[in-house]
């Protein structure tokens, strides 16, 4: 297991409230390595379609788990589609910990899947872009301002993007457009803040074992008369784990451990000379 010394650092991780989320895994991994962590999500306890999550405590449970590691945690509810809420999130982070060293934006909203562009409604389009792109802009703006309040050298921002932001995905136009935009935001911001010593990068996963596809799997489960938990356990195709069809030479889905190891490397000194890069995490996917 990797270990870097992040003692004395403060990290803000958005999109961290769901039990199976990348954000939660990233927050816990950074806390294990000594960082104080602010965790944020739209809800204190994000809604879930998994019966196995009925007792999940959301952000407050994550804070308790963070504090068991010896690090300090703090939970903030924030709808990142709201600029004022993003400003308040960053302000609260600074008020509680007095500094902000790392920001990992792991918010993601897939939106409609399998819906042609011509059939997308204005509201569906706007919602997906508000969460995946506008929210990333709002948070990045306020995070950079906070990072510059003291010596910004060595501070870092990571956006969790998607391979959909590199290639167009039929039936997922809004999501693909938002993630393309997120990569443009990352590259522009990276070049703006690099002279101050702040590095900005992105990680683009393909298919990972998280809660991201739960709604799609729940719809399939209902059609087959199964519970979602049964679907997840027994039907890998519904979870996007048909790695042959996805052209994944490594033959498996990504895991949150894959993500946390990469995030930690980028935040550690070994990643100091990496900026404005999009790291594809796709098991060697052959479609690009």
List of the chain residues with pLDDT < 70: 49, 210-246, 288
Q: Are strands 278-281 and 199-205 parallel, antiparallel or unpaired?
A: parallel
Q: Helices (DSSP H) in 130-201: which residue ranges? A: 135-147, 173-193
**In this predicted model, what pLDDT tens digit does every residue of 219-247 receive, in sequence order?**
565 666 666 666 666 555 444 444 445 67
Distance in angstroms (rounded) separating the CA atoms of residues 63 and 68 = 9
Domain positions in the chain are 10-206+254-281, 214-246
Predicted pLDDT of residue 285 = 86
Predicted pLDDT of residue 240 = 47
Predicted pLDDT of residue 241 = 47
Q: What is the pTM of this model?
A: 0.90
Of 196, 87, 104, whose CA–CA distance to 149 is shortest?
Answer: 196
Predicted pLDDT of residue 210 = 56
Specify the DSSP class assigned to residue 130: I
Predicted pLDDT of residue 251 = 81
The CATH superfamily assigned to 10-206+254-281 is: NAD(P)-binding Rossmann-like Domain (3.40.50.720)
């Amino acid at each position: 297991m990797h270990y870097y010394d992040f003692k004395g650092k403060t990290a803000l991780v958005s999109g961290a409230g769901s039990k199976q989320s990348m954000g939660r895994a990233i927050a816990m991994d950074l806390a294990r390595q000594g960082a104080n962590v602010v965790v944020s999500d739209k809800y204190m306890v994000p809604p879930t379609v998994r019966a196995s999550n009925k007792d999940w405590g959301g952000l407050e449970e994550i804070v308790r788990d963070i504090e068991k590691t010896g690090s300090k945690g703090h939970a903030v509810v924030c709808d990142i589609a709201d600029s004022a809420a993003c400003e308040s999130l960053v302000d609260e982070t600074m008020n509680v910990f007095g500094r902000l060293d790392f920001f990992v934006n792991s918010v993601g909203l897939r939106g409609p899947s399998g819906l042609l562009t011509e059939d997308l409604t204005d509201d569906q389009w706007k919602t997906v872009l508000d969460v995946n792109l506008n929210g990333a802009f709002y948070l990045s703006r306020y995070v950079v301002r906070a990072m510059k309040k003291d010596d910004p050298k060595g501070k870092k921002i990571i956006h969790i993007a998607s391979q959909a932001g590199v290639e167009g995905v039929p039936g997922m136009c809004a999501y693909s457009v938002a993630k393309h935009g997120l990569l443009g935001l990352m590259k522009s911001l990276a070049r703006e803040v690099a002279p101050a010593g702040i590095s900005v990068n992105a990680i683009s996963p393909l298919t990972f074992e998280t809660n991201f596809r739960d709604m799609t799997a729940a719809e399939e489960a209902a059609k087959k008369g199964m519970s979602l938990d049964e679907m997840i356990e027994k039907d890998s195709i519904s979870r996007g784990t048909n790695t042959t069809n996805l052209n994944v030479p490594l033959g498996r889905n990504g895991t949150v451990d894959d993500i946390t190891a990469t995030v930690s490397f980028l935040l550690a000194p070994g990643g100091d000379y990496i900026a404005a890069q999009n790291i594809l995490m796709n098991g060697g996917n052959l479609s690009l």
